[in-house]
Amino acid sequence: MSTKGTKIPDWLTVPFAGITPAPSQDKGQNLFPTGNWRAIRPVYRDKLPPCNNACGTNEKIQGYLDLVKRGKYLDAYALIKEDMPFPSVTGRVCYHPCEQACNRGKYDEAISIRAVERFLGDLGQALKHDVVKPGKPNGKKVAVIGSGPAGHSAAYQLARMGYKVTILEKSPKPGGLNRGGIPVWVLPPHVLDREIERLVELGITLKTNTEVGKDVSWDDLKKNYDACVLAVGLTEPNSVRAEGENKEGVLYGLPFLRDIGMGTSKVKLGPRVAVIGGGNTAIDCAREALRQGAVEVTMITVEANTQEMPASPEDLHDMFEEGVDLWHGRAMTAVLGNGKVESLQLHPARFSGAINASPINIDRNAPAEKFAVDNVIIAVGQHASLNWLPPEFKNERGTIKIDRFGRLGDTNFFAAGDIAQFGSGQPLMVVNAVGDGKRVAFNLDKALRGEPLQPRTIAIDVIMDLNRMNMTYFPHFPRVHQGMLNPITRKKTQDEVIQPFTEEQAVEEAARCFSCGTCNACDNCYLVCPEPCITRPERSNGLYKIIVDYCKGCRVCIEECPTGCLEGVPELDFDTGVVRMDTAFAISPGLHGRQAQELVNLASRPAKNI
């Protein structure tokens, strides 16, 4: 008998025929550790969704859409508030570069992110107490000059970090461009007022009617504050330098909107109005002109077509709906009339370069057109008014000279927003100014604490591409559209044109999100693992773990991960036989990335317990 006298040692004792009891939630299948077969290891590594990347202030868009999908609205609101002080505002005014970047746009229709943001912003407005609290006071005082998007954002972030912030605003009402550059039928004043209240609730002191260079000097700022953020914006309208531009009836875009926004407008428009310019402000002016009593509004642009215009296609569409006429390829060369505008002289024109800020070539030899109007509104950008600034901090564009961290030389002065723009020379959009203010606030904090600063431009992480996702899991589903007021009646009123999402609409739209590259706790890996060696204490992003003692690296979870969050990492990249969580998760802003600190602490724990 060959088996006589044989004995199986305890440590090799296995169940009858290897028949394995059902796996448990925390240990998985723990009888037959076959992890040493593995050549690749599945790793949850959140990539940057394209929406987060495209957003001017890098809102964690995938994150809050996921929370909305799950009905966790307050958590979603708190998440958006990390990067965006006023989602109720951007939920209305933003040009939503996130939606242009949305991977879903390459599949059926982009997610209506802005509408969900507005849903969350309005939810936040209704809260008695905001979820955001001021930081522990650090005893340092910061002045923020200007209460527009960049200043608002910087002040908000600084207050959250514990700074004693004072905002100096030269106008009688705070809000800057948010109040003076955006029509009330896009952004009702009470919405902005509520967001300003939130700033005051954070302990920020707001001084209106306080102008730098007049009420406060450069030296006062230096003396009275530990640091200062200059976010004064571009306040002075550009001229087109046409003959007769000083005639009565000639208006400028930003002051036109600003006076209406501040409630100080005395303008009375005639029935025929022309708007010069092809940007978003020009569109707002044209539509506002209708609401101010104009009957025929014509927009005149140098751009040869709508594609060239630096304007959002939706705003253009809404403008056409309201009946504004649009002329291309013309420049206004003179304002004609006897003391008052009677007509405009137009010549064919085009930009000399590829961008709208390049010089304009006007064909003055061509026959001039004469166009009869009662008013003309010139909306071709604006420039700075910086006579209070020491000349060494001015640049050749007439804005503030900063280093790549947003700092003025080696001072504790920082600048953000339009006044510190570089690049194309185009004014920033609201969301970009918010992001700029946020990054400058963080750098200011670092500077005062003596830490190395971060460049204003963000480091590009891996941006998730549609091709790396498993589209089998995403059925086509149309975008949920926001309601709109009727164009015939709305153009006579100041009522908000775009209607909010209902809760059901917000959830339905958020549920369309692919969650590109970021774990959204879909449970697919957990279900498809044949061993099974994936556990999670609950269905939540960041709580999934691979029990590597049993994972053979079969790749099924990786292939079947809808979002592409799971990656196969060659086993040789690891220096231990068990998972090292600090390498398993990325630094990108997904929720997994949020565990970074917690994961660092794991280093001191025995590997088996990780």
Closest-CA residue to 536 (of 520, 518, 514): 520
CB-based contact 132:125 (threshold 8 Å): no
Q: Which of residues 134-163 bind another protein (CB under 8 A)?
A: none
Nearest distance, CB of residue 2 and another protein, angstroms: 7
Nearer to another protein, 13 or 597 (CB): 13
Helical pair 61-69 and 73-80, crossing angle rounded to 10 deg: 170
12 or 354, CB closer to another protein? 12
Pinpoint the alpha helices (H) of 247-363: 253-262, 280-291, 313-321
**Smallest distance, another protein to C-beta of residue 1, A:** 6
User: At its nearest, how many Å lie between another protein and the CB of residue 8?
Assistant: 5
Of the pair 39, 471, the CB lying nearest another protein is at: 39
**Whole-number Å distance between alpha carbons of 287 and 492:** 10
Cβ-based nearer residue to another protein, 36 or 540:
36
Kindly list the distances between the CA atom of residue 55 and the CA atoms of 136, 154, 430, in Å, as whole numbers in the listed order.
Answer: 29, 17, 11
Buried b (16+ CB within 10 A) or exposed e, 240-276: bebebbebebbbbbbbbbbebbeeeeebebbebbbbb
Cα 395 from chain centroid?
A: 27
Is position 608 an interface residue for another protein (rule: CB under 8 A)?
Answer: no
Q: How far is the CB of 7 from another protein (least distance, A)?
A: 9
Decide if residue 328 touches another protein (CB under 8 A).
no
Pick 12 or 460: Cβ nearer another protein: 12
Shortest distance, CB of residue 27 to another protein, whole angstroms? 14
CB of 527: closest distance to another protein in angstroms?
15
Q: How far is the CB of 11 from another protein (least distance, A)?
A: 9
Q: Which is nearer to another protein, 41 or 439 (CB)?
A: 41
Specify the residue, 25 or 338, whose C-beta has the smaller distance to another protein.
25
Residues 37-66 that bind another protein (CB under 8 A): 37
Residue that the structure tokens 């809102």 belong to: 59
Judged by CB under 8 A, which of 24, 26, 36, 217 binds another protein?
A: 36
**Under rule CB under 8 A, residue 597 binds another protein:** no
Distance of alpha carbon 407 from alpha carbon 404, whole angstroms = 7
Q: Using CA atoms, how far apart are residues 549 and 530, in angstroms rounded to an integer? A: 14
End-to-end CA distance of the chain: 47
CB of 474 to another protein, least distance (A): 31
Interface of this chain with another protein, residues 425 to 444, rule: CB under 8 A: none
Within 525-554, the residues that bind another protein by CB under 8 A are 552
Nearer to another protein, 15 or 570 (CB): 15
Give the nearer residue to another protein in terms of CB position, either 28 or 437.
28
CB of 538 vs another protein, minimal distance in Å: 22
Nearer to another protein, 15 or 390 (CB): 15
Hey, which residues between 551 and 570 contact another protein (CB under 8 A)? 552
Burial class (CB in 10 A: 0-12, 13-18, 19+), 341: buried
Give yes or no for residue 34 binding another protein (CB under 8 A): yes
CA distances from 473 to 70, 406, 534, 603 (A): 18, 44, 20, 36
**In the window 363-382, what residues touch another protein (CB under 8 A)?**
none
By CB under 8 A, tell whether 320 contacts another protein. no
Q: To the nearest whole angstrom, how small is the minimum distance from the Cβ of residue 61 to another protein?
A: 41
Residues with Cβ within 8 Å of residue 96, at least 6 apart in sequence: 113, 114
Which listed residue (25, 30, 33, 453) binds another protein by CB under 8 A?
Answer: 33
CB of 460 to another protein, least distance (A): 41
Give yes or no for residue 588 binding another protein (CB under 8 A): no
Please report, as residue ranges, which positions from 3 to 32 form the binding site for another protein (by CB under 8 A).
3, 6, 8, 12-14, 16-22, 29, 31-32
* Closer CB to another protein, 141 or 552, in the complex: 552
Query: Tokens at residue 602, please?
Result: 């794991």
Tell me if 2 contacts another protein by CB under 8 A: yes
Inter-CA distances, 499 with 127, 187, 246, 315, 367, Å:
20, 12, 40, 15, 46
**Nearer of residues 29 and 541 to another protein, judged by Cβ:** 29
Q: Residue count at the site for another protein (CB under 8 A)?
A: 23
Burial of 583 (0-12, 13-18, 19+ CB in 10 A): middle
Q: How far is the CB of 556 from another protein (least distance, A)?
A: 14
Binding mask 469-508 for another protein (x = CB under 8 A): ----------------------------------------
Determine contact, residues 508/480, Cβ cutoff 8 Å.
yes
Quick one: three-class SS letters along 144-167?
EECCCHHHHHHHHHHHHCCCEEEE
Return d(Cα 107, Cα 499) in angstroms, integer: 26
Residue 543 or 556 with smaller CB distance to another protein: 556
Helix (H, G, I), strand (E, B), or coil: what is residue 267?
A: coil
Please report which residue ranges of 356-470 form alpha helices under DSSP H: 430-448
The answer for residues whose C-beta is within 8 angstroms of residue 333's C-beta and 6 or more apart is 242, 243, 345, 346, 347, 362, 364, 368
CB of residue 4 to another protein, shortest distance in Å: 8
Question: What residues line the site for another protein (CB under 8 A)?
Answer: 1-3, 6, 8, 12-14, 16-22, 29, 31-34, 36-37, 552
